[in-house]
């Protein structure tokens, strides 16, 4: 059996899931972990029994025996320099979303992967949601006819939203709707987005990081399909789950409704009342199985490397998603539609908007 040495850089919530998944895989010869917090590094070391555990990611970069790296670092500004160094060292990389903070960074990473002949992908784990995979299959089979409209509504709990929003000043479109834009564009291939109109509403999160509580974006595809994506992160603390999603797909020959609100599992206890368990977006380990998407996604990338198969998410696709959610931010700021691909004037406006937001932090 072919095996490889792998590393996880950043072992917080998502990185911890990936490290535990890899520690249990027969495809992994040796696991290496990196984390800047000594207490968390020790915690994950005890969980995964890695070959090495380090506080400096350059130890991973310099180790020629490591061929596959999963980058799960925060804040998101760390994605580019760490991914750049790993790709330069000739390592295959799975990078959590977003692919980068700036377009030139995304382009540089894509070029580096191509020049060095290594696999590079972005962690859009919702493609491993069985309901989303089923929708992709139904559309591809023609069962729905020509798709006319796709609507996705995704809302997170306030506690999780505050955790995400407190570490970086990015909008719900960038941090949450990005997943939905990814899998919708994937389902509708080869159609591409040509126009975005977005609106946002302020509420609880404005005092946390100046962000909207929710954003709704209408995306027009080049074949006329209408995509509407809503994302928010302010469900009240009493809401019984972490993430609730509803998806509607209508076509000329049929319709498909997907309930991913996790109301099919009810737990009621004296201490916490009613909860909908296993409702996080990444998923979680449940005894001997993984409930959710991130576990299968982690192993799939490893299989792509070992079997030399195409990655599930091409980095060029992730860049297109990036362009769309940045256009959504600009549209909400200008209160008008924004065309895709972004024009030079739109790119300049986004740069100005980003600079103003940074100055206001």
Q: Which residues contact 82 (CB under 8 A, 6 or more apart)?
A: 9, 57, 71, 73
- Range in 108-112, 125-129, 200-204, 355-359 the model is least confident about: 355-359
pLDDT at residue 264 tops 90: yes
Name the nearest CA neighbour of 117 among 65, 62, 67. 67
Q: 28, 68 in Cβ contact below 8 A?
A: no
DSSP for 259-323 reads EES-TT--EEETTTEEE--S-SSS-EEETTEEESSHHHHHHHHHHHHHHTPPPSS-HHHHHHHHH
Going from the C-alpha of 238 to that of each of 153, 234, 273, the distances in angstroms are 20, 11, 9
Burial of 296 (0-12, 13-18, 19+ CB in 10 A): middle
* Percent of the chain scoring above 70 in pLDDT: 98
For tokens 């159609």, name the residue.
191
| CA pair distance 181, 177, nearest whole angstrom | 6
| Residue 106, preceding peptide bond in cis (omega within 30° of 0) | no
pLDDT at 357: 74
Nearest-angstrom CA–CA distance, 358 and 169: 8
- DSSP code at position 275: E
pLDDT at residue number 211: 87
Return the pLDDT at 104. Answer: 97
Domains and CATH numbers, the chain: 4-118+300-310 (3.40.50.720), 127-281+319-344 (3.30.360.10)
pLDDT tens digits along 8-48:
999 999 999 999 999 999 999 999 999 999 999 999 999 99
pLDDT band at residue 71 under the 50/70/90 scheme: very high
Average pLDDT over residues 82-95: 98
Tell me: the pLDDT tens digits for 123-175?
A: 999 999 999 999 999 999 999 999 999 999 999 988 877 777 666 678 999 99
The pLDDT, as a whole number, for residue 154 is: 96
With a CB cutoff of 8 Å and minimum separation 6, the contacts of 282 are 13, 14, 17, 125, 292, 293, 294
**CA 262/CA 251 separation, integer angstroms:** 25
Q: Is-contact 343 196, C-beta < 8 A?
A: no
pLDDT at 259 > cutoff 80: yes
Q: 3-class DSSP state for residue 127?
A: helix
Q: Would you state the pLDDT for residue 306?
A: 97
**What is the distance, to the nearest Å, from the Cα of residue 184 to the centroid of all Cα atoms in its chain?**
13
Distance CA 303, CA 198 (A): 38
d(CA 250, CA 254): 6
Instruction: Please give the pLDDT value at position 80.
Output: 98
- d(CA 120, CA 9) in angstroms, rounded, equals 15
63 φ, ψ (degrees, to nearest 5):
-85, 105
Q: In the numeric block, which tokens belong to residue 122?
A: 């972005």
pLDDT band at 361; cut points 50, 70, 90 = low
Largest Cα–Cα separation, the chain:
58
Q: How much is the average pLDDT of 214-242?
A: 94
HSE-up of 229 (CA within 13 Å, CB side)? 26
In whole numbers, what is the pLDDT of the chain averaged over residues? 95
Give 351's strand partners: none
* Cα gap 196→333, rounded to integer Å: 12
pLDDT score at 167: 66
Average pLDDT score over residue span 294-318: 97
């Amino acid at each position: 059996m072919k095996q490889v040495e792998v590393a996880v850089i950043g072992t917080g919530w998502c990185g911890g899931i990936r490290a535990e998944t890899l520690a249990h895989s027969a495809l992994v010869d040796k696991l290496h972990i990196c984390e800047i917090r000594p207490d968390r590094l020790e915690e994950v070391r005890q969980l995964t029994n890695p070959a090495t555990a380090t506080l400096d990611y350059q130890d991973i970069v310099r180790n020629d025996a490591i061929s596959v790296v999963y980058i799960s670092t925060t804040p998101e500004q760390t994605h580019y320099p760490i991914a750049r160094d790993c790709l330069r060292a000739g390592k295959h990389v799975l990078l959590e979303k977003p692919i980068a903070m700036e377009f030139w960074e995304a382009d540089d990473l894509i070029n580096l992967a191509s020049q060095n002949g290594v696999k590079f992908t972005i962690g859009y784990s919702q493609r491993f949601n069985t309901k989303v995979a089923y929708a992709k299959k139904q559309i591809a089979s023609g069962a729905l006819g020509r798709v006319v409209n796709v609507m996705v509504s995704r809302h997170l709990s306030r506690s999780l939203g505050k955790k995400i929003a407190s570490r970086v000043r990015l909008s719900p479109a960038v941090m949450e709707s990005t997943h939905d834009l990814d899998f919708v564009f994937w389902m509708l291939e080869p159609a591409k987005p040509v126009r975005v109109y977005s609106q946002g509403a302020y509420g609880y999160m404005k005092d946390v990081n100046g962000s909207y509580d929710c954003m709704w974006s209408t995306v027009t595809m080049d074949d006329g399909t209408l995509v509407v994506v809503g994302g928010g992160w302010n469900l009240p603390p009493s809401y019984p789950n972490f993430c609730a999603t509803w998806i509607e797909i209508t076509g000329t020959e049929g319709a498909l409704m997907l309930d991913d609100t996790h109301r099919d599992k009810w737990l009621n206890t004296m201490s916490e009342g009613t909860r909908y368990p296993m409702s996080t977006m990444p998923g979680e380990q449940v005894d001997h199985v993984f409930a959710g998407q991130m576990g299968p996604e982690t192993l799939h990338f490893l299989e792509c490397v070992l079997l030399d198969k195409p990655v599930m998410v091409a980095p060029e696709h992730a860049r297109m998603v990036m362009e769309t959610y940045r256009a959504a931010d600009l549209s909400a700021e200008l209160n008008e539609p924004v065309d895709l691909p972004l024009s030079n004037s739109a790119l300049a406006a986004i740069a100005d908007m980003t600079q103003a937001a940074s100055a206001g932090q």
